[in-house]
Amino acid sequence: MLMTGKDKALKIVNKAEIVMLGTVDKAGQPQIKALIKTKNDGLKEFWFCSNTSSKRAQQMKENGKSCLYFTTKKWEGVMLNGFAELSYDDEVRKSFWDDSMLTYYPQGALDPDFVLIKFTATSGNYYKALVNEDFDVAD
């Protein structure tokens, strides 16, 4: 069976440990930050840990337009376009919790500074060398 760009993208995304989050600040300037990939539902939904007090979280409240970018060492990559929002879902925060995180969130899993970034993708692009394929992200 021939793998589509979307199939290859899913493989890269599922294997990835680190992902780059792109956002846009008040001045219209793009910003990038590396995040640890935690939970994802295929190419559609991603959750990341962040800090309420961080510049990035504050910025996201005003402008949720964002992208995720994944690369491999083989000059191959995936970009997902979508929307990011902050979430304080207690169940999800507890499910992500591990005591090594106390350095960052001294009050534990429900520390008010512990916020989740929920990213929802709408479309994507897979590339490898000169191959470049756009795809929709839908059910």
In the complex, which residues of this chain contact its own copies (CB under 8 A)? 18, 20, 22-24, 27-34, 63, 65-67, 69, 71, 77, 79, 81, 103-104, 130
Q: Closer CB to its own copies, residue 53 or residue 89?
A: 53
**Least separation in angstroms between CB 98 and its own copies:** 16
Q: Closer CB to its own copies, residue 86 or residue 92?
A: 86
76 vs 93: CA distance, rounded Å: 32
Name the nearest CA neighbour of 115 among 68, 61, 48, 64. Answer: 48
Three-class SS of residue 14?
helix
**Least separation in angstroms between CB 130 and its own copies:** 8
What DSSP letter does each residue of 103-115 carry, written as one string?
A: GT-TT-TT-TTEE
14 vs 87: CA distance, rounded Å: 22
**Least separation in angstroms between CB 1 and its own copies:** 28
Q: Closer CB to its own copies, residue 24 or residue 92?
A: 24
